[in-house]
Structure 1
Amino acid sequence: MIKAFFSYSTQDAAFVREVASEVGRAFATIDYRSFHAGGDILDSIDEALKESAAFVFFLSKAALASPWVGHEIREARFQAAMGRIKNVLVVRLDRDIAPGDLPEWLNRTKHITTIAAKPAARRIRTLIDDLVRQGQSPRFVGRAAEIAALQDVYSAPEPGAESQVACVTGLPRIGRRATLTKMVRESLDLETLLVIDVEPGDTVQALAAKLSALVDPSETSEGSLQMTREITALNDAQALAHALAKFQEICQYHQMPVLHDAGGLLDNDGDIAPYILDLIESLSQYPDIVTALLTNRRPSPDHFIARGMRQLGVVHLRPLEDADISRLVGLTAKARQITLAPATVREITAAVRGYPPSVTFALELITAYGPDLGIRGRMLSDFSASPLTSYLKQNKFSNLEQKILRVMAANSPLPLSVLQEATSTSDDDIEKALVHLIDVSLIVPTPGGWYEVSGPAVDAIRREFGACTKAEYRAVASRLDEFLARSEDGTDYLALQRTLFRAMDKAGQQSTPRAYALLTDRVKLAEQYYHEQEYHRAVDMATDALDADPGIHQARTTLIRAHVKLGEFTEAGDHIAELKKRGQVRDAFFLTGFLERHRGEYREALRHYQKALDSGRGGMAIHREMADCCLRLGDLPRANEHISRAEEKQPDNRYVVDLKIQIACKLSDRDTALSLLVRLAAIDRPEMVSHRTSRVEYLFGNTETAYEFAQKAVEKSDNVRFEVLANYVLCALRTSHVDEASTALDQLDRKFGRQRRDIRTGLRARLSIAEQDYQTAYAYTEQFVSPERPVHLLIRRDALRGILDRNALAPQRRADLKAELKRCEDRLAGREEDFDLDALGNLG
């Protein structure tokens, strides 16, 4: 763990102790905690300095007169020259000390003047956090060609050909930031990157507000809110000028401002957001600004051409070659003092598949279990499917560490004190847990001084450790609201105010004046509610966002999908028509296919999906959806063709693997289905793996086993999904657990009362048949929205048979029912179809 050595006079000890307490004991090395009485004090000092990455000198006249401090300063200079001490800070406690009173090397370091503990602690934490971020970056290997390409963008050999902005593309975790950082340090005389997320629903005003929160934060939460409101009230030209001024300041601080595409920089056509184009176009007026874009794919050049702008220099990063990964494994292992055999290095190289950060997690497993067990126990072979998920599954995180990760995956960023209070943890326990999670790169410090979960780990944490509970959201909201009410630390309050808004909304609490939401927060919450199957809340939140700005594309697409899931097809169709009006044709075709698929009109859905493909819509999702339609239509060759294309694009996507299992079941290929279940277990949540196992066993006729796995799926679910609960009801009915089925069906109706009416009605009818109440079952069949589907005809047939066999009926009534029974049997023509719970399940 990175630590700071505090050098000070005993006369200043009380103040230094207060600063150390604010910094956190795990991060500070100071003599009254680290040095052993009766031992060799000089040796203890030297050893402590050797283990510290930062040196903090509390400058006072008493400190300058102390021989012990003099020794510490001399030793610190030596350790700095050796490269062990990387950052030095002088905290001036006395303004009257002249520069000539200090050694020259200390005059060249960073200085602050303060007699208050909080500002000093904040500056020291910033120093440490910067070192943490550097330490979490993997050691650098390869990328010579990419670095040369970036150098050519920023300093082309031909005069006038150089650019102020480059675009670095590539998949997440591929090393985009590390490559850009290495280039700017070595070639542009900049120290580091300051990365700003561009999110769905962001505007130039939102960008300006985010930049101000980082560059010139207010001293109080109230001041931050006032500043944010003033910035968001600016017109576009004023906000753009403000954002450019902040870019300029960032560059003056020897940092590069970098815009990271978090869903709002590029649209589905690859077009850059217009206000970002405005910013790039204006850079010529600010020649001292150099910046970059980080995206997953290459931006479209069309709008650059239309504006007469020079096209972006684009540098694309691919996975590292095996030789480079092997070098990286060796260097990282050496730094951790791990000895690896060549065979183990080869195993790790194959497992991480060219993704540098995965080396960290692979070596953590080797450290925890040893190289032999790591390989023989198939940990690394499983690891290759999904490094983060496998790492979380196999490593032994304490209950507290799991809780911290679960809370922070849903509520980031957070201050350390809020996290401690929200998890009801002691000083020692929270510091120990946080230090470990920082060391393994799951928690990272933010530029604003808080802590957050590393972006790529969020989904894996949710899958493995569960979703944040409503009680945990309430605890975060309460403690964070109190923190903002009293805090005067003066840093990025906007990020915390946004976290507070989201936490309060998820907790179902009334917002407070200290909570603040950018439009992107509503867009992201709408999408989160959608994926949690809280479709009515998704509709409300997306509608709020569109009321504020009808042009937010992602909010409208989320709204359309939520309306479809609720069976509100007319409303969804109206919004699809709006997409067409706005020229977003390929998405309109895709979402029309999505709508028709949920209606059960699979041929019509395929027709619209094909139109979307022909219009240029690509990606994994469309092929996955087309594979699903082909599967429902019984066209298994085409289903296999499309799912293979989806798998090429995202081989570790859990929906793709899940659909491959369904196709294998349709082909009666039990062995393939079971082998794919093992693969699914590495990348999906435990309850969904149990659910899919239940469906496989059910489809192969093993209803008792299917019931057991369905029960496990429900028990493991923090927020049980429709398909999981519906499958449990069905399995309970098939195995004569009628009471359990009835209870679960009541829960299904309470939780999903506005969703999938025909499935819930059909299960009600099946429950009535199991209870031999055939008249009620028959009455339910009158309520089907799509009564001619085979499964609904089967239920009606069974209800009619029960009525005819067990009831005394008037002759005409019996004749009518017999005629109705014959009609059902003729329509079925011998087909025996069950509920297709998978058709409307995980996809979408």
Structure 2
Amino acid sequence: MIGCGISKKNIAVGGRQLKVFLSHSSKDKHIVSAVANRLGRSYIVYDDFTFDTAVDFETSIERGLEVSELFVLFASRNSIQSDWVQKELTQAQALRLAGKIDSIAAIIIDDLPIDELPDWLKKARVVSLNSVASITREIQYLFQRRLSQKQSPYFVGRQSEIEEAEAVLSPTSSLDEPHVFSFFGLEGVGRKTLCRHVCANLLSLPKSQTFRIQDGDSLADLVIKIEEDINPSPSIAATKSRISTLEKTSSRDLSVIFERLAKAFVDARELLILQDDGGLLDNDGFVKSEFADMIAIARNSEAIRFAIVSRRKVRFAPPEKGFPCISVGPLKEDDAKRLILRQFRGSKFAITDQQANELAPYVGG
């Protein structure tokens, strides 16, 4: 199963470990449990992981809410009719007004109309998502956003690259907006970091998911990776069966499936990143024939938008139409020094200006 939990770095705010309370109906347990397993039990308040069997359920809810700074409702027709969920909502609202819960969000997981949410909850962050992966990333995003409110993001320099990206990704005419674009450069210089930063600010895509295309990977392999991320198969046997089916599917049809999957990321306001690790581009930088139809369909589709991160600049054979490729070089030494000093600032390890100067030439990004 593809996916990752909440980062173990910087999980405390003001000396208090940041936790997320997952409010849900027991009838939606199959979805919530899958999300909880992806997030990791250390950072969530979830009945199966957290509640003490020796304590009555209502007391466990109260204790769980009191140690949480984030409250997430899995909104559904089931949960909106649950007495326990209503108790949690009432207490969460009170704790929010008291300043003890910092952020509240509702993730609609079925066809529940937003009008059926409590009026006060409609003013919170409300999104409609139906896959375990996209729900997990939404909660991870809320978690990281809360941390970033307390901590300065470690991003410095790159002004020329940002200006170039702005020119090509936010052109003066919407007709010129690219649906596929690339950030290329040596590994370790911050290609993905810059890509995420630019797309969050220019394209309003604050979340992202990266899929690696390794040497030997086929388009069918990529499709199954994305499918498993969006909607994991219930068993290994089901996954094997799906792989067998996709391997018999034409490149054109696989490309259409990819377009549908990529659209799911756009609908969830997520950036899809394809990282070339030798599988997408050949040694000269041309897109391998296996993925040619996928790129052609994507480039002409108004429904999707995704980024490619690669070591080489993508090349195109005439009369093939290309797409924007933004070069990412190593950080300038002054920017690298600022990054080093910022990383160490506030940590238990002290670093002098001289040490930062000595380290700067070795920091690419």
TM-score (normalizing by structure 1)? 0.33
Matched with 1:242 is 257
What's the CA shift for 1:226? 2.0
The one of 73, 76, 88 aligned to 2:93: 73
How do 1:712-751 residues align onto structure 2 when only pairs under 5 Å count?
none
How do 1:218-617 residues align onto structure 2 when only pairs under 5 Å count?
218-299=233-314, 301=315, 304-306=316-318, 308-334=319-345, 337-338=346-347, 344-348=352-356, 350-351=358-359, 353-356=362-365
Change (3 A) 1:250 1:131: same
Measured in 2, the distance between the counterparts of 1:188 and 1:278 equals: 25
Matched with 1:176 is 191
Letter in 1 for 2:191: R
What's the CA shift for 1:186? 1.5
Q: Which runs of 5+ in 2 are unaligned?
A: 1-10, 12-17
Matched with 1:5 is 21
Contact 2:80–2:117 under 8 Å retained in 1: no
Measured in 2, the distance between the counterparts of 1:175 and 1:241 equals: 31
Matched with 1:104 is 121
Contact 1:266–1:272 under 8 Å retained in 2: yes
Measured in 2, the distance between the counterparts of 1:162 and 1:90 equals: 30
The one of 202, 207, 211 aligned to 1:192: 207
Change (3 A) 1:315 1:78: farther
The one of 83, 102, 119 aligned to 1:62: 83
Measured in 2, the distance between the counterparts of 1:20 and 1:276 equals: 32
Letter in 2 for 1:71: Q
What's the CA shift for 1:179? 1.1
Change (3 A) 1:310 1:346: farther
What's the CA shift for 1:169? 1.0
Contact 1:55–1:76 under 8 Å retained in 2: no
Measured in 2, the distance between the counterparts of 1:176 and 1:56 equals: 35
Change (3 A) 1:278 1:196: same
Contact 1:8–1:69 under 8 Å retained in 2: no
Letter in 2 for 1:351: L
Letter in 2 for 1:245: R
Contact 1:3–1:128 under 8 Å retained in 2: no
Change (3 A) 1:123 1:231: closer
Report SS of the residue matched to 2:302: coil
Contact 1:139–1:328 under 8 Å retained in 2: yes
1:685-710 Cα offsets, whole Å, 9 max, x none, are: xxxxxxxxxxxxxxxxxxxxxxxxxx
What's the CA shift for 1:65? 5.7
Measured in 2, the distance between the counterparts of 1:245 and 1:345 equals: 51
Matched with 2:7 is none
Contact 2:180–2:306 under 8 Å retained in 1: yes
1:583-604 Cα offsets, whole Å, 9 max, x none, are: xxxxxxxxxxxxxxxxxxxxxx
Matched with 1:594 is none
RMSD, aligned α-carbons: 4.5
Letter in 2 for 1:149: E
Matched with 2:14 is none
Contact 1:173–1:355 under 8 Å retained in 2: yes
Letter in 2 for 1:224: T
Measured in 2, the distance between the counterparts of 1:283 and 1:96 equals: 32
Change (3 A) 1:102 1:315: same
Higher relative contact order (CA 8 A, sep 6+): 2
Contact 1:209–1:232 under 8 Å retained in 2: no
What's the CA shift for 1:98? 7.2
Contact 1:168–1:176 under 8 Å retained in 2: yes
The one of 205, 212, 230 aligned to 1:215: 230
Contact 2:180–2:299 under 8 Å retained in 1: no
Q: Which runs of 5+ in 1 are unaligned?
A: 114-118, 357-844
Measured in 2, the distance between the counterparts of 1:97 and 1:61 equals: 17
Contact 2:190–2:364 under 8 Å retained in 1: yes
What is the aligned length? 326
Structure 1 or 2: more helix by fraction: 1
Change (3 A) 1:139 1:242: same
Letter in 1 for 2:178: S
Change (3 A) 1:64 1:217: closer
Is it true that 1:27 corresponds to 2:43 in the alignment? yes
Contact 2:179–2:301 under 8 Å retained in 1: no
Measured in 2, the distance between the counterparts of 1:205 and 1:216 equals: 16
What's the CA shift for 1:196? 1.9
Measured in 1, the distance between the counterparts of 2:109 and 2:219 equals: 39
Letter in 2 for 1:324: D
Measured in 2, the distance between the counterparts of 1:315 and 1:79 equals: 44
Change (3 A) 1:175 1:112: closer
Report SS of the residue matched to 1:319: coil
Structure 1 or 2: more strand by fraction: 2
Measured in 2, the distance between the counterparts of 1:188 and 1:123 equals: 18
Change (3 A) 1:309 1:124: closer
TM-score (normalizing by structure 2)? 0.70
Report SS of the residue matched to 1:258: strand
Measured in 1, the distance between the counterparts of 2:246 and 2:217 equals: 13
Change (3 A) 1:19 1:218: closer
Change (3 A) 1:266 1:5: same
1:390-434 Cα offsets, whole Å, 9 max, x none, are: xxxxxxxxxxxxxxxxxxxxxxxxxxxxxxxxxxxxxxxxxxxxx
Contact 2:134–2:230 under 8 Å retained in 1: no
Letter in 2 for 1:195: T
Letter in 1 for 2:324: G
Contact 1:329–1:348 under 8 Å retained in 2: yes
Measured in 1, the distance between the counterparts of 2:176 and 2:136 equals: 41
Measured in 1, the distance between the counterparts of 2:349 and 2:220 equals: 52
Report SS of the residue matched to 2:273: strand
Measured in 2, the distance between the counterparts of 1:243 and 1:208 equals: 6
Letter in 1 for 2:352: T
Letter in 1 for 2:330: P
Change (3 A) 1:111 1:309: closer
Letter in 2 for 1:190: L
Measured in 2, the distance between the counterparts of 1:239 and 1:103 equals: 44
Matched with 1:49 is 68
Percent identity reads 19
